């Protein structure tokens, strides 16, 4: 993936819970996998 961690943080940090849930659902529908699990694999550190 070559994930840009700063971009991911920027996008998710500026969304409310409902918006983050909508992003997660859309990702699941588009890619057939859970966004949180994918991010856990792609990102370093603790993002909880």
Q: Taking the CB of residue 43, how many other CB atoms lie within 10 A of it?
A: 14
The residue ranges of every structural domain in the chain are: 5-42
Structure tokens at 35: 């966004």
DSSP designation for 15? S
pLDDT tens for the 48 residues of the chain, in order: 577 888 888 888 899 999 999 999 999 999 999 999 998 888 876 555
Which three-class secondary structure state does DSSP give residue 44?
A: coil
10 Å CB burial of residue 2 (0-12, 13-18, 19+) is exposed
Whole-angstrom Cα distance, residue 26 to residue 35? Answer: 9
Report pTM. 0.73
């Amino acid at each position: 993936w070559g994930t840009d961690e700063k971009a991911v943080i920027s996008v998710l940090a500026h969304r409310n819970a409902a918006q983050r849930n909508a992003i997660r659902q859309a990702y699941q529908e588009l890619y057939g996998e859970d966004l949180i699990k994918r991010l856990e694999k792609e990102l370093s550190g603790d993002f909880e």
